[in-house]
């Protein structure tokens, strides 16, 4: 038996620890590990190599993914999926581990339906927007990158009595913005999941400024497309000079935190053990829910949309009105 690992879609910190542990753990289980480079595109092009300890030595602390990633339109076409399958057969690979998001899981699910190649998906996205899991690999590091940037921006904003608007990533999910706003002590939080009242916030902030407030921190999720509007509102309505910072892809990089490293190791261990189960002949996703790891079907992951837990949104009520 041979197992290969690939990373697909957006990269995130935690992927390299997962790749390293995959190789080490496969050898521990007397299984030959393979690395698929450049994600689904590499699977199509046959960029597949046997893995050795030397390939993954010293990458535990590195962000991103050593085996690189991609988004593949070609994989939607049967002929390219067949080409990918033939590449696996050529190397004697009969099982896969994929780190990615729901789109990557859907792609391999179709691949399984076509060619019966069992796989386990590991949720890896800083957006933390995959239904069925409370935690996705890379989230903790992304939050710490935002925390570091937000703390630094607050320092300079306080020095000049300015407002600062910080835009976080997350597509249409406001998880990064919400948790960052709560833990960074922001005054304003704008996310797709929560309605907000600028008139009420304006009145509150003006009163605080009269009583000595020297700066305002507003954290805005990119999915709201409200960054420019919040800057304008702070300057024209609240009456404070304001600067905007779009954090962008800095949130995907950085050294993986201890938590992301540990989660990577646990995710991979469960994934490989499941693939080594002789009765396992399907495709599933390993998720972390209610402080436990479990396996769920691709249909279940795709059956609903991820929603931020109410206990978190309740903590932001003072930042939306």
Q: Which of 127, 129, 140, 260 is catalytic?
A: 127
Per-residue DSSP letters for 125-182?
Answer: -TT---TT-S--BTHHHHHHHHHHHHHHHHHHHHHHT-EEEEEE--TT--HHHHHHHH
Task: Show the tokens assigned to 192.
Answer: 């797709």
Task: Show the tokens assigned to 13.
Answer: 């910190």
Q: Whole-angstrom Cα distance, residue 242 to residue 252? A: 26
Nearest CA to 205 among 54, 319, 46, 309? 319
Indicate the SS3 state at residue 112.
helix
Rg (CA), the chain: 22
Catalytic residue list contains 127: yes
Per-residue DSSP letters for 19-30?
Answer: HHHHHHHHHHTT
The neighbour count for residue 8, using CB atoms within 10 Å, is: 29
CB 81 within 8 A of CB 96: no
Q: Whole-angstrom Cα distance, residue 115 to residue 175? A: 36
Going by their DSSP bridges, the two strands 2-7 and 95-100 should be labelled as parallel
CA atoms within 13 A on the CB side of 85: 17
Q: Whole-angstrom Cα distance, residue 40 to residue 37? A: 8
**Helices and strands, number each (H, E), in the chain:** 12, 11
- Which residues carry out catalysis? 127
């Amino acid at each position: 038996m041979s197992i290969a690992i690939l990373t697909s879609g957006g990269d995130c910190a935690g992927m390299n620890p997962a790749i390293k542990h995959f190789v080490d753990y496969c050898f521990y289980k007397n299984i030959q590990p393979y690395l698929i480079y450049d994600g689904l595109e590499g699977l199509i092009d046959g960029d597949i190599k046997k893995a050795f300890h030397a390939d993954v030595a010293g990458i535990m602390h590195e962000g991103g993914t050593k085996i690189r990633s991609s988004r593949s339109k070609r994989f939607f076409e049967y002929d390219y999926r067949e080409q990918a399958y033939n590449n696996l057969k050529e190397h004697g690979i009969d099982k896969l581990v994929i780190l990615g998001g729901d789109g990557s899981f859907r792609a391999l699910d179709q691949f399984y339906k076509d060619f019966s190649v069992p796989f386990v998906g590991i949720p890896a996205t800083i957006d933390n927007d995959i239904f069925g899991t409370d935690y996705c690999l890379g989230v903790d590091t992304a939050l710490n990158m935002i925390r570091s940037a937000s703390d630094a921006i607050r320092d300079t904003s306080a020095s000049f009595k300015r407002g600062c608007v910080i835009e976080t990533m997350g597509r249409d999910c406001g998880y990064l913005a919400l948790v960052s706003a709560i833990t960074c002590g922001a005054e304003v939080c704008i996310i797709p999941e929560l309605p907000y009242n600028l008139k009420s916030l304006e009145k509150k902030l003006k009163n605080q400024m009269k009583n000595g407030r020297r700066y305002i921190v507003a954290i805005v999720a990119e999915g709201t497309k409200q960054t420019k509007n919040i800057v304008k509102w702070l300057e024209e309505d609240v009456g404070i000079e304001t600067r905007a910072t779009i954090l962008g892809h800095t949130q995907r990089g950085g050294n993986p935190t201890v938590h992301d490293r540990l989660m990577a190791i646990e995710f991979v261990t469960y994934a490989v053990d499941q693939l080594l189960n002789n009765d396992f002949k399907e495709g599933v996703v390993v998720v972390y829910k209610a402080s436990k790891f479990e396996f769920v079907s691709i249909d279940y992951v795709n059956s609903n949309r991820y929603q931020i837990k109410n206990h978190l949104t309740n903590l932001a009520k003072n930042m939306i009105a």
